[in-house]
Amino acid sequence: MIELAVLDMAGTTINESGAVYRALRTAVERNGVTVAEADLQTWMGTDKREAIAALVRIGGGTPTPELVEESYAAFAAFLREAYLATPPQAITGVEEALAELRRRGIKVALTTGFSDDVAYPLLESLGWSTGEGGNLDAVVTSDEVPRGRPAPYMIHRAMEKTGVIDTRRVLTAGDTVVDVLAGRNAGAGVVVGVLTGELGRADFDGHPQTHVLSGVTEIPGLPEARQTA
């Protein structure tokens, strides 16, 4: 029986039409390196500054702190332009699923590899928020933790914010392998890979999830998500 659902944002709860993939590739390749699709997949879901540094290094470049910051600024600018052209939307049925979980007494937190300047305008554009009248109990961005996924810190920070102390009563869900690894590293009792991002079911084979679901909309149907309050 879970007390907290910790869910990724882009590709898991929010459909942003692959803009993050395109923005990350563009921000890295502007430095004269080539990004292989497999490497891009490996680093999706991680802290975006860490991803930029890794992809530049893999491509044969030197990710100095200055280059990483310049590239991150370019990433954020590309992403804002993409979101203006094609506004992100809640994945169909997700808002209802989140509401159902909260109705059952299960708290809902979102985590993201985005920094505050990207994450909060995105949530605001959807009308999602924490606090009175909001549809979320907590949001954790990459700015709040020393390392992003697959480190467990964002999940543990979500537990801290929501007052949940038993990792076995936490469910995590995300559309990338690093989401699954972060859930495992955090000790979550239920670790879900979802198929609403770029990965197929076979891409999760051999990884430590407890479930692979078509999407977040199936989480309320899990036995572990039964009524808690």
pLDDT digits (tens, 9 = 90+) for 106-117: 999 999 988 898
Beta-strand relationship, 170-174 and 107-111: unpaired
Nearest residue to 119 (alpha-carbon basis) of 88, 91, 158? 88
- Given pLDDT bands bounded at 50, 70 and 90, which one contains residue 228? low
Three-state DSSP at 163 gives coil
d(CA 38, CA 57): 15
Nearest residue to 128 (alpha-carbon basis) of 149, 98, 153? 98
Does residue 152 carry a pLDDT above 90? yes
Residue 227: burial class (beta carbons within 10 Å; 0-12, 13-18, 19+): exposed
Nearest residue to 182 (alpha-carbon basis) of 93, 115, 109? 109
pTM, two decimals, is: 0.88
Does residue 97 carry a pLDDT above 70? yes
pLDDT at 187: 98
- Given pLDDT bands bounded at 50, 70 and 90, which one contains residue 226? confident
> Quick count: other Cβ atoms within 10 Å of Cβ 135?
16
154-187 pLDDT, tens digit per residue, is: 999 999 999 999 999 999 999 999 999 999 999 9
Name the CA radius of gyration of the chain, rounded.
Answer: 17
Does residue 193 carry a pLDDT above 60? yes
pLDDT at 194: 98
pLDDT at 229: 53
Which amino acid belongs to residue 164? Answer: V
Residue 90, φ and ψ in degrees, nearest 5: -65, 135
- Given pLDDT bands bounded at 50, 70 and 90, which one contains residue 12? very high
128-146 pLDDT, tens digit per residue, is: 999 889 999 999 999 999 9
pLDDT at 25: 94
Q: Do the Cβ atoms of 53 and 34 come closer than 8 Å?
A: no
Here the tokens at position 99 are 């509401």
49-82 pLDDT, tens digit per residue, is: 999 999 999 999 999 999 999 999 999 999 889 9
Looking at every residue in the chain, the average pLDDT score rounds to 94
Nearest residue to 4 (alpha-carbon basis) of 111, 134, 107, 138? 107
Does residue 227 carry a pLDDT above 80? no
Here the tokens at position 192 are 């879900």
Here the tokens at position 88 are 């992100």
Residue 195, φ and ψ in degrees, nearest 5: -105, 25
- Given pLDDT bands bounded at 50, 70 and 90, which one contains residue 41? confident
Q: Do the Cβ atoms of 217 and 198 come closer than 8 Å?
A: no
Look at 8 and 20; give whichever has higher pLDDT.
8
